[in-house]
Chains A and B, each alone.
Chain A
Amino acid sequence: MNSSLKRLLQIAVFLPMLWAGYLSAAENPDDAYLKDNPYAEEEDADKTPAIADPLEPWNRAMFHFNDKLYFWVLKPAAQGYKAVTPDIVRVGVKNFFHNLTTPIRFVNCLLQGKPGAAGQELGAFMVNTVVGVLGFGNPAADDPRLKPHEEDFGQTLAVYGVGDGFYIVWPFFGPSTLRDSVAMGGDYFLTPLSYLNSTEASIGIRAYDEINSTTFRIGDYESLKEAAVNPYEAFRNAYIQYRQGKIRE
């Protein structure tokens, strides 16, 4: 009787300590594996963004393809173009295309219940189209009231609770998710470029936009790749973190 009472007391004392330990570890799941015992096993996977990648072989192949495409085609074209094109022209073209995609941002701001943001996009569009001459100029950038809001249909769907789905790497377009890829179809209808009669013109213009944009980013891709120990995974994770950040905004 004495020994079982003792045992009962031991448990009565021990249990709350266990519980307290559990509670304090559960408090900051991010550090739980560091708390006093750095080797403690704690699942902090929920803190690290992850995405399913059932198409991994395809994705890796596309990643490789895009990598080569960048170094063999896009970058040389961009460098050549940059060498012969004055900065002001390149910036102008960038502004023009950005202005053209205002409907996408405007509609998606509204869909996400952000009328203020939608208004700012509309305001910027009007200022840039009129004062900025069809969008080549960007006087709206100087107005602190007209901030750009990078929203797209993929983010809208995410806000409505649609999950990522899984990771897809498209040739040319680059990384995406199942949801974002489907959403590109939605945004397609909001881009004036889609209503051009000629497919070649449409593709040609998009290609030009891409080359022009790349002139501002030469070096970024290389930096990211160089900083990575495991490039495919680095880009996948960076893309997911970046998208989640954008969705939260």
Chain B
Amino acid sequence: MKKFLVCIAAVFVFAAVSAHAADSAGPMVSVQGPIQQGIDLLRDPQYKDPSKREAQRDKIWEIIRQTFDFVEVSMRALAQDWKNFTPQQRKEFTEVFTDLLKNTYIDKIQSEFQNETIQFLGDEKVSDDKAVVKTKVIRNGKIEIPMDYSMRLKDGQWKVYDVIIEGVSLVKNYRTQFKEILAKDTPAQLITRLKDKVIQQEKDRTTGKKG
């Protein structure tokens, strides 16, 4: 799997070197492979055992880490407030926000995966370095949930910076939350609040409280 990803990365680098980087390794291709790998992982019977959950989680995280650009996600989640964070705070924020997203969503994916299938509907170029990949998550063959990935081309590689589910953008949702918090608290306090939440999540996870 790692080799496969390295090959993809090599393709992207090569594409970046050649003339029109934006067109060669398309956005949909960049996200299709990793998503399919993720689903295969979730379906893999060798991870059915609860003791294997951590291993499965780490593998899924590897895929996500390489497909998402968390710096972009963090920058956009703070928007205008980004400039009020010192470089050190920005780094801290990106790290803790990434952890928060990781804990929240991987747990959710792992525990609520019900053998959904994903239909890739295509991608749409918004500008030279931005595109939206549209997919549909199909549960039990009947329930369809539209899920779009906003992607940005950076250093010759398309990476995801936002996920839009049923019209609700993740980044925008967190943005309004952070905006409201930062209207009253300092950046340092926000970071502390996020850290506390992550610690709480870790605790819940290890005690097996939340599914």
Q: How many A residues touch B, CB cutoff 8 Å?
A: 35
Among B127, B173, B181, B210, contact of A237 (Cβ-Cβ < 8 Å): B173
Q: Is the CB of A248 within 8 A of B167?
A: yes
- Compute how far the CA of A68 lies from the CA of B112 in the bound complex, rounded to whole angstroms: 24
Q: Is the CB of A242 within 8 A of B176?
A: no
Also in contact, A42 and B173, with CB within 8 A (given A229-B197, A242-B166, A245-B166):
no
Chain B residues with CB below 8 A from A50, complex form:
176
- Compute how far the CA of A41 lies from the CA of B82 in the bound complex, rounded to whole angstroms: 10
Of the candidates B83, B175, B176, B197, the one having the most CB atoms from chain A within 10 angstroms of its own CB is B176
B95 → chain A, closest Cβ, in Å? 15
B76 → chain A, closest Cβ, in Å? 8
Chain A residues with CB below 8 A from B201, complex form:
226
Also in contact, A230 and B83, with CB within 8 A (given A34-B75, A241-B173, A248-B167):
no
Q: How many B residues touch A, CB cutoff 8 Å?
A: 33
Convert B161-199 into 0s and 1s, putting 1 for each residue whose CB lies closer than 8 angstroms to a CB of A: 000001111001111111011000000000001100100
Q: Is the CB of A245 within 8 A of B104?
A: no
A199-219 residues at the B interface, CB under 8 angstroms:
219
Among A219, A223, A228, A241, contact of B177 (Cβ-Cβ < 8 Å): A228
Residues of B within 8 A of A (CB): 75-76, 79-80, 82-83, 100, 104-105, 108, 112, 127, 130, 142, 166-169, 172-178, 180-181, 193-194, 197, 201, 210-211
Residues of A within 8 A of B (CB): 27-28, 31, 33-34, 38-44, 47-50, 141, 219, 223, 226-230, 233-234, 236-238, 241-242, 244-246, 248
List 6 extra interface pairs beyond A48-B175, A233-B177, A237-B176, CB under 8 A. A28-B130, A40-B83, A43-B80, A44-B79, A229-B193, A242-B168
